[in-house]
Amino acid sequence: MYIIYGKPTCSYCTKAKKLLERKGLEYTYVDISKDVQAQASLIFTGFKTVPVIFKDNDLIGGYEDLVSTL
């Protein structure tokens, strides 16, 4: 299962969701503009941009990293 941390104004977040949907892969989307705890966690761990994508609790990275793993 994939987890995408992103925000509505992020075009790469939208691209990541659409890519996983086209591939028929399940994901959970966490909107960090609404989930302040998730946002704080990302900032605390050093992430400065979104999307931040995980697969089975392993960090993939951003959109380009997702593309290269599929």
Structure confidence at residue 15 as a pLDDT band (50, 70, 90): very high
Domain count for the chain: 1
pLDDT (average), residues 59-68: 97
Enclosing domain of residue 58: 2-69
**Which CATH number characterizes residue 12's domain?**
3.40.30.10
The whole-model pTM stands at: 0.92
pLDDT of residue 30: 97
Contact 38, 15 (CB under 8 A): no
The span from the CA of 32 to the CA of 36, in Å, is 6
pLDDT of residue 47: 94
pLDDT of residue 53: 98
The span from the CA of 25 to the CA of 53, in Å, is 13
Structure tokens at 59: 């960090």
Convert the pLDDT of each residue in 17-63 to its tens digit. Answer: 999 999 999 999 999 999 999 999 999 999 999 999 999 999 999 99
Q: What's the distance, CA 9 to chain centroid? A: 13
The span from the CA of 26 to the CA of 47, in Å, is 23
